Amino acid sequence: MTVHRNIMRRADEAVERARASGVLDRRAFMRLSTLGIGATILSACNSAGPKSAQSLLNFATRQNEKFERWLLGENTPAHIGSVTPAGARFPTYWISDTVPMWDDAVRGAWALEVSGAVKSPRTFRYDELTAMKMETQRVPHYCVEGWTAVADFTGIPMRSLLAVVQPNADAKFVDFMSFDDGYHESWDIESALHPQTMVVLAKDGHRLSPGYGAPARVHGPIKLGYKNTKYLTKIVVMPGANGGYWSDRGYEWYGGT
Amino acid sequence: MHKKRVTRHHPIVRITHWVSAVALLVMAASGLRIFNASPAFAPKGSTFRWWPWEGTPVPDNLTFGGWLGGARHWHFAMMWLLVANGLLYLGYLWFKGEWRELAPRRGSVHDAIAMARFYLGLTKRHPLQGKHNALQKYAYSTMIVLGLVSVITGIAIWKPVSLGWLTAAMGGYHLARWWHFTSMLGLGVLVVVHVVMVFAVDPYALRAMTTGGYDEDRYSPEARNARPFVNLAPAKVEEGE
């Protein structure tokens, strides 16, 4: 009881003193700043944070990108551990209203154009791609949302496709374009040349179905899911980066794993 | 002799304490926003039995960043401040030898039981202690360990391919993610207990952790014989020599 009365008396005195002097004493200041911090935390709930922090966040993103590029070794293979393939539980995804399907009758035979800052641009027919040396790899797909799904992807290593067209010396980026309502994502050429980056034609031993990006998609475990363009039509080698569908909507452009 | 107004915490300790308070809050809340984008740990096509709330998101009001991309930008920026600040603090503890005030030692279990008995009202006198009591030693050293675990598991899920050996050492991406989440929860529980105990047992620690000032003879829980919500007023000290 005496304790309680003591504290109340002290509080009264502090208020009285503050009123008399017109200045906040240290205790009152502490109390008010505690309230202030509490209010700040409450108002931060579910918010995007102060606008003024944006340039600092952008700076951090740029520094992170440098660090990530440095971390990406020449031949770092993706580990999958003991995870079993997702099979039909592998999520499907596209941005069009309905699943994009290439209709030969409307658009002519599908072909993959590889062009831009290269010495010999080329367009590959589907059967020309299947005739190339293919590889199969069991790798995880890392979604930006946090889930992963493992699949056996079969395709042509991107480095062998790019070797055919011979990128120029100033080629630093590669844009992967699709027929899915303009979806595209550009990559740094080092990631595109990573041995596990492929133009994928089959998943789990079957030709890609429309839900999984038929007839061809980009896949590599070293980039987050949204960087791996599906419904691929064009690979454009460039001296500068060209953003991307999700990169232009606020996700990191680099999107490395 | 009555010691007056000693500096209880070195400025490095005080600064890193409040920086980690802010950084941890932002990391936890932005991390929960990232978690909400896919609030489950199982790889697709598998089941995961280590988390009973698989698929359940946390309330939006506990999150920060506004949306997944925004939360990721905050998370991946603030992590550098958290790590730099943590290294500064740990470096200080190491080079000044102050880790000895925090690390439990032989006899700490016994001391912690004595402390718990006092808090529960089973004994009358506050056990003797150094800078921190045994319960605090366990709590603070566990917080440091959990902080290290969150950082290491965080790196493992940030770069599961570039640093695949680290992710593999944790049993894979999904387990690294679970450890990251769980160490955050553990740290969060200890932070809440810590804040409650500061107000309930030693509110003078607020000043000690801000301006550094502390008068052990009047304010220390030992001198006040303070248990939660009991004997909060300063101890009476005989003036004069």
Higher pLDDT, B121 or A82: B121
| Number of continuous H segments (helices) and E segments (strands) in chain B | 10, 2
Domain presence at residue A122: yes
Residue pLDDT, tens place only, A16-69:
655 555 555 556 666 666 666 666 666 677 788 888 888 999 999 999 999 999
- Cβ atoms of A218 and A189 within 8 Å: the answer is no
Q: Is the pLDDT of residue B131 over 60?
A: yes
Using pLDDT thresholds of 50, 70 and 90, give the confidence band for residue A6.
Answer: low
- The CA distances from residue B112 to A52, A189, B92, B138, in Å, are 46, 58, 26, 8
| Residue of A30, A46, A147 with shortest CB distance to B44 | A147
| Number of continuous H segments (helices) and E segments (strands) in chain A | 7, 10
Strand partners, A150: A140
Predicted local confidence at residue B74, as pLDDT: 96
Find chain A residues with C-beta within 8 A of B76's C-beta: 60-61, 64, 252
Q: Is the pLDDT of residue A1 over 50?
A: no
Residue pLDDT, tens place only, A109-164:
999 999 999 999 999 999 999 999 999 999 999 999 999 999 999 999 999 999 99
> Is A61 within 8 Å of B61 when comparing Cβ atoms?
no
| Residue of B70, B162, B171 with shortest CB distance to A257 | B162
For A109, phi then psi, to 5°, come to -60, 140
Using pLDDT thresholds of 50, 70 and 90, give the confidence band for residue A98.
Answer: very high
Residues of the domain holding A124: 79-249
**Average of per-residue pLDDT across B50-75:** 92
> Is A49 within 8 Å of B207 when comparing Cβ atoms?
no
Strand partners, A122: A114
What residue has token string 């205790």?
A27
Residue pLDDT, tens place only, A105-117:
999 999 999 999 9
Residue pLDDT, tens place only, A240-251:
999 999 999 999
Shortest Cα distance, chain B CAs vs residue A31, angstroms: 11
Domain presence at residue A203: yes
Same domain, A104 and A170: yes
Domain presence at residue A182: yes
Highest mean pLDDT among A71-80, B78-87, B199-208: B78-87
Which site among A29, A45, A63, A79 would you substitute to test the B interface, given the most B Cβ atoms closer than 10 Å to its Cβ?
A79
Q: What is the DSSP string of A1-39?
A: -HHHHHHHHHHHHHHHHHHHHSS--HHHHHHHHHHHHHH
Residue A87: exposed, middle, or buried by beta-carbon count in 10 A (0-12, 13-18, 19+)? middle
Predicted local confidence at residue A229, as pLDDT: 96
What is the β-pairing status of strands A111-116 and A232-238?
parallel
| Residue of B35, B65, B231 with shortest CB distance to A49 | B65
Shortest Cα distance, chain A CAs vs residue B51, angstroms: 15
Write the Ramachandran bin of B158: left for phi over 0, alpha for psi from -120 to 50, otherwise beta: alpha
> Is B44 within 8 Å of A6 when comparing Cβ atoms?
no
**What is chain B's mean pLDDT, rounded?**
92
Instruction: Report the residue of chain A nearest B232, measured CA to CA.
Output: A3
Same domain, A149 and A85: yes
Distance CA B29, CA B64 (A): 5
pTM over 0.90: no
Predicted local confidence at residue A211, as pLDDT: 95
Directed axis angle between helix B134-158 and helix B108-119, to 10°?
110
| ipTM of the complex as predicted | 0.87
- Cβ atoms of A108 and A233 within 8 Å: the answer is no
Distance CA A114, CA A185 (A): 15
Q: Is the pLDDT of residue A10 over 90?
A: no
Residue pLDDT, tens place only, B181-200:
999 999 999 999 999 999 99
Strand partners, A112: A124
Instruction: Report the residue of chain A nearest B70, measured CA to CA.
Output: A48
Same domain, A118 and A10: no
Residue pLDDT, tens place only, B81-117:
999 999 999 999 999 999 989 999 988 999 999 999 9
Same domain, A87 and A158: yes
Instruction: Report the residue of chain A nearest B206, measured CA to CA.
Output: A30
Strand partners, A137: A153
**Average of per-residue pLDDT across B5-27:** 93
Two structure tokens written together for A33: 């700043």
**Average of per-residue pLDDT across A202-211:** 96
Same domain, A237 and A113: yes
Same domain, A89 and A30: no
Distance CA A85, CA A139 (A): 9
Find chain A residues with C-beta within 8 A of B67's C-beta: 48, 250
**Average of per-residue pLDDT across A93-100:** 94
Buried/exposed A228-243: b ≥16 CB within 10 Å, e otherwise: bbbbbbbbbbbeebbe
Predicted local confidence at residue B1, as pLDDT: 47
Buried/exposed A177-199: b ≥16 CB within 10 Å, e otherwise: bbbbeebbbbbbbebbbbbbbbb
Cis (ω within 30 of 0) for the bond into A215? yes
Q: Break chain B into its structural domains and give their ranges.
A: 11-78, 98-241
How many CB atoms neighbour CB A150 within 10 A? 25
Distance CA B169, CA B167 (A): 5
- Cβ atoms of B33 and B92 within 8 Å: the answer is no
- Split into its structural domains, chain A has a count of 2
Two structure tokens written together for B162: 């570039």
Domain presence at residue A135: yes
Distance CA A36, CA B110 (A): 41
Which site among A40, A63, A147, A247 would you substitute to test the B interface, given the most B Cβ atoms closer than 10 Å to its Cβ?
A147
| Residue of B38, B72, B231 with shortest CB distance to A147 | B38
| Residue of A45, A79, A145 with shortest CB distance to B164 | A79
**Average of per-residue pLDDT across B20-34:** 96
> Is B173 within 8 Å of A90 when comparing Cβ atoms?
no
Highest mean pLDDT among A19-28, B17-26, B216-225: B17-26
Two structure tokens written together for A131: 């005739």
Q: Residue A124 is part of a domain; what is its CATH number?
A: 3.90.420.10
Same domain, A153 and A244: yes
Using pLDDT thresholds of 50, 70 and 90, give the confidence band for residue B237.
Answer: confident
Distance CA A180, CA A230 (A): 8
**Average of per-residue pLDDT across A82-102:** 90
Find chain A residues with C-beta within 8 A of B171's C-beta: 81
Strand partners, A157: A198
Predicted local confidence at residue B108, as pLDDT: 92
Same domain, A172 and A86: yes
- The CA-based angle B207-B211-B214, given to 5 degrees, is 55
Find chain A residues with C-beta within 8 A of B37's C-beta: 144-146
Q: Is the pLDDT of residue B136 over 60?
A: yes
Q: How many CB pairs under 8 A join A and B?
A: 152
**Average of per-residue pLDDT across B39-49:** 88
| Residue of B45, B171, B233 with shortest CB distance to A87 | B45
